[in-house]
Amino acid sequence: MTSLKDHTQAGHGRVVISVDAMGGDSGPATIVAGISLSAKKNPNIDFLLHGPRDELEKLVAKRRVLDGRCEIRDAAGVVSMEDKPSQVMRHGKDTSMWSALDSVRDGDAKVAVSCGNTGALMALSMIRLRKLPGVNRPAIAILWPSRNPQGFNVMLDVGADIRADAQDLLQYALMGASYARNGLDLQRPRVGLLNVGTEEHKGRAELKEAYELIDSHREKGKFDFVGFVEGGDIPGDRCDVIVTDGFTGNVALKTGEGTAKLIGDLLREAFAYSPLSRLASLLALTSLRRLKKRIDPRRVNGGVFLGLNGTVVKSHGGADAMGVSSAVKLAFELAASGFGDRLAARVASAAMLAQDDAEAETGQKESDKP
Amino acid sequence: MTSLKDHTQAGHGRVVISVDAMGGDSGPATIVAGISLSAKKNPNIDFLLHGPRDELEKLVAKRRVLDGRCEIRDAAGVVSMEDKPSQVMRHGKDTSMWSALDSVRDGDAKVAVSCGNTGALMALSMIRLRKLPGVNRPAIAILWPSRNPQGFNVMLDVGADIRADAQDLLQYALMGASYARNGLDLQRPRVGLLNVGTEEHKGRAELKEAYELIDSHREKGKFDFVGFVEGGDIPGDRCDVIVTDGFTGNVALKTGEGTAKLIGDLLREAFAYSPLSRLASLLALTSLRRLKKRIDPRRVNGGVFLGLNGTVVKSHGGADAMGVSSAVKLAFELAASGFGDRLAARVASAAMLAQDDAEAETGQKESDKP
């Protein structure tokens, strides 16, 4: 197995993606099948694959498309879904997850992809990659099928942290707008703050405070602010970026996924009901496929960790090869667009501006004194 | 127009439902069409209809099925969707909403139904009906299409109050279990507490406290406790009753509704795409109708206000005649099962038991003193 380094440093516009082979529910074979799919579709991706060398070498050798494009980094340990983040932080040095993150930290890859335990991945990302200057709480952002022309909205935080104060929500707005600009190609994303009503007087105290803060950063952050939005706007077209705390965002995400899955299953049942309905379903197959393609979560698979020195894409634990491939595609797009550097610059400048504001305000108050 | 009173007091198993004719987005004609539908289906319902007498008399006169079964209570004022709850509480005495609630307070009707402004309806309900002894915060409970055999799960609170402490969450568990027993005919409902993970150590502090409280009231409350559940369990089959605060519940409800509506619209688009897909949709019509019947929100229209001296059903503001009729059906079932009295008894006994526990505990601590 050759190293990718020379290949990459030759600068043919190639992008290296670091992949944790051991996180998924269905094992490394599915991960290798997924990266093979990506390698076939996109000749500009190379891979760093992390996990037990013997096992991975066998899997990679079967895929001709990966020949010379996949370097294996040996890591014997595996982070399981049951492992507590604190355990992994203390004893996880030999794991494939740790190795994948360190390759981003060391600059060998632009973005890391893992299907593993979300809590452990976030905890490890925070200690190995560290938070961006100016960021208090990193966030996980996801893409959600919506009525907007771009087909998706960004929602964050969906579970990095169960708390978020007004300042955190402002940072989520800045990071979410940056993600929408780079990931969805929107010049001036519209940001909405999730609440239980759209009236300004409604909701929790920290939300009213965040409303003012986000509103006052519209120009600096190059986004529009539509104010409070409701749960129904997450798949809607009132805004492109939905900002909320990780508790509410996680519940909303899982409720939406669960509801979509229930409807899909009931649709299948309805079409299996009688011979006539089975015939109808055959005729309707292309229509149903068109719908499925539009809302299939495997096609938008990947939560992105924002606010770190390096980008991490968290794929669903239960992702199949296509799901893994779509997470890799997202990672490639973010790496190729230089998203990480742009986001860092945006957050740092906002943090500096906020500091300037605070100082100016203090100065003001000083001068107000009699 | 004759009074219903004698009719009702004669005790033919008839139930009087009080209906606010003025709350809905599409005006009183839709409400009258809705109660006519209910009157046709169910000969045991009579109505008290609240609103401007002249307007309502004309509408009711057109419906022969309402002849002698619908008494009009004149009320000139209307609560609009824009009215703030505080305004309505001060100046709403002449409104149809106030009149509808007062008829329940005075014992003329068992349950009130309104399509009006939720915030105003809850605020008025609290001052006109008052909270049940032992209840700190009333809650709004809804039925959600689910994978369970009964077809629906109960979720509360979906928006009565944006806050809920551990004690409130316990009361929601008791009230939700009582609703599931009476509304869904479940002997021993399974209660789940909504969180971002199912592990016991996860989530906010008040949730850990509520976990212990709810767990310790399983036997007294005659329910099972499955512990923490996630957003995906709201339409799932792990539990029958989902307990959460009104902020999270409202976001989850609206996210689920919005996602279901988006899928429905995309399904329609997919089937309108080509001549073949339109043919398929004709053949699939009965299958799609079967699905729609299963998840149509109009068929489960009605949030129930729990924790008051009297039951209030809040119908969707945008409900059509069928939606209004389904809210009336829910009101009838709750009234006929004596739900209000049973709930009151359950909550009062739990409150008393909690007090006993607290006294016992204090006694214990006293005796522990050296």
- Phi, psi of A278, deg, nearest 5: -70, -40
Beta-carbon contacts below 8 Å between A and B? 184
User: What mean pLDDT value characterizes chain A?
Assistant: 86
Structure tokens at A350: 């906002």
| Structural domain spans, chain B | 1-130+308-337
Instruction: State the number of CA atoms in the 13 A half-sphere of A294 facing the CB.
Output: 24
Residue of A nearest to B295 (CA): A263
- Cβ–Cβ under 8 Å, residues B263 and A262: no
Q: Which amino acid is at A111?
A: V
Assess B81–A contact: CB distance below 8 Å, yes or no. no
Task: Quickly list H helices, A73-200.
Answer: 85-91, 96-105, 118-128, 166-183
Give pLDDT, residue A338.
79
- Cβ–Cβ under 8 Å, residues B220 and A198: no
Give pLDDT, residue A368.
43
Show residues of chain A in contact with B271, CB under 8 Å.
Answer: 284, 287
Task: Identify whether A237 is preceded by a cis peptide bond (ω within 30 of 0).
Answer: no
Second CATH level (architecture) for the domain A135-300: 3-Layer(aba) Sandwich (3.40)
Show residues of chain B in contact with A290, CB under 8 Å.
Answer: 270, 273
Segment A48-72 shows an average pLDDT of 96
Q: How far is CA A40 from CA A20, A327, B130, B227, in A?
A: 19, 15, 67, 45
Show residues of chain A in contact with B266, CB under 8 Å.
Answer: 291, 294-295
Alpha-carbon distance of A104 to A121, in angstroms, equals: 13
- Phi, psi of B69, deg, nearest 5: -120, 5
Distance from CA of A26 to the nearest CA of B (A): 21
Q: Which amino acid is at B229?
A: V
pLDDT band at B299 (very low <50, low <70, confident <90, very high): low
Give pLDDT, residue A16.
96
Alpha-carbon distance of B97 to B354, in angstroms, equals: 35
Query: Which positions 240-279 of B are in contact with A (Cβ < 8 Å)?
Result: 244, 246-248, 250-263, 265-267, 269-271, 273-274, 276-277, 279
Measuring CA to CA, which residue among B340, B338, B334 is closest to residue B129?
A: B340
Show residues of chain B in contact with A235, CB under 8 Å.
Answer: 255, 258-259, 261-262
Measuring CA to CA, which residue among B241, B237, B247 is closest to residue B206?
A: B247
Question: Bigger pLDDT: A220 or B198?
Answer: A220
Give pLDDT, residue A290.
73
Task: Summarize pLDDT for B111-142 with one digit per residue, the tens.
Answer: 999 999 888 999 999 999 999 888 999 999 99
Measuring CA to CA, which residue among A21, A124, A1, A171 is closest to residue A69?
A: A1
The CATH class that applies to domain B1-130+308-337 reads: alpha beta
Give pLDDT, residue B229.
96
Q: pLDDT above 90 covers what percent of chain B?
A: 57
Strand order in the sheet with A224-229: A70-74, A45-51, A15-20, A111-114, A311-314, A303-306, A139-145, A152-156, A241-243, A190-194, A224-229
Give pLDDT, residue A269.
78
Map residue B207 onto helix, strand or coil: helix
Rg value, chain B, Cα: 22
Structure tokens at B99: 């009149």
Assess A81–B contact: CB distance below 8 Å, yes or no. no
A264 sits in which H/E element: helix A246-271
- Phi, psi of B113, deg, nearest 5: -120, 130
Please state whether beta strands B139-145 and B241-243 pair in parallel, antiparallel, or not at all (unpaired). unpaired
Neighbours of B166 (CB within 10 A): 16
Tell me which residue has tokens 């007498």. Answer: B53
Residue B276 in this model has a pLDDT that exceeds 90: no
Q: Which of A238-252, A354-368, B96-110, B309-323 has the lowest mean pLDDT?
A: A354-368
Segment A153-175 shows an average pLDDT of 93
Distance from CA of A278 to the nearest CA of B (A): 9
Asked whether the CA dihedral A62, A63, A66, A71 is positive or negative, the reply is: negative
Residues 6 or more apart from B1 whose CB is under 8 A from it?
B57, B60, B70, B71, B72
> Which pairs count as long-range contacts for B349-354, CB under 8 Å and 24+ apart, including other chains?
B349/B220, B350/B134, B350/B170, B350/B171, B350/B174, B350/B217, B350/B220, B350/B221, B351/B133, B351/B134, B351/B135, B352/B134, B353/B217, B353/B220
Segment A280-297 shows an average pLDDT of 71
Q: pLDDT above 70 covers what percent of chain B?
A: 87
Give pLDDT, residue A348.
72
Q: pLDDT above 90 covers what percent of chain A?
A: 56
Q: Which amino acid is at B295?
A: I
Q: Is B188 exposed, middle or buried (0-12, 13-18, 19+ CB in 10 A)?
A: middle
Could you tell me how many residues make up chain B?
370
Give pLDDT, residue B134.
83
**Interior/surface letters B34-51, b for 16+ CB within 10 angstroms, e for the rest:** bbbbbbeeeeebbbbbbb
User: Tell me, what DSSP letter sits at residue B159?
Assistant: S
Residue B238 in this model has a pLDDT that exceeds 70: yes
Give pLDDT, residue B264.
83
Segment B204-210 shows an average pLDDT of 90
Alpha-carbon distance of B242 to B297, in angstroms, equals: 18
Output helix, strand, coil percentages for chain B, rounded to the nearest 5: 50, 15, 30
Question: Bigger pLDDT: A239 or B350?
Answer: A239
Cα angle vertex A366, ends A362, A369, to 5°? 140
Task: Summarize pLDDT for B49-83 with one digit per residue, the tens.
Answer: 999 999 999 999 999 999 999 999 999 999 988 88
Map residue B13 onto helix, strand or coil: coil
Residue B360 in this model has a pLDDT that exceeds 60: no
Alpha-carbon distance of B10 to A336, in angstroms, equals: 79
Termini Cα distance of chain A: 75
Show residues of chain B in contact with A267, CB under 8 Å.
Answer: 267, 291
- Cβ–Cβ under 8 Å, residues A346 and A145: no
Q: Do A287 and B280 touch (CB under 8 A)?
A: yes
Tell me which residue has tokens 């981003």. Answer: A104
Question: Bigger pLDDT: B7 or A231?
Answer: A231
pLDDT band at B10 (very low <50, low <70, confident <90, very high): very low
Residue A44 in this model has a pLDDT that exceeds 90: yes
Give pLDDT, residue A154.
95
Q: Do B287 and A280 touch (CB under 8 A)?
A: yes
Q: How far is CA A274 from CA A262, A268, B286, B321, in A?
A: 20, 12, 10, 31
pLDDT band at A7 (very low <50, low <70, confident <90, very high): very low
Task: Summarize pLDDT for A298-354 with one digit per residue, the tens.
Answer: 566 679 999 999 999 999 888 899 999 999 999 998 888 877 777 777 777 776 666
Give pLDDT, residue A8.
44
User: What mean pLDDT value characterizes chain B?
Assistant: 86
Q: List the single residue in B231, B235, B246 with the smallest CB-CB distance to A262.
A: B235
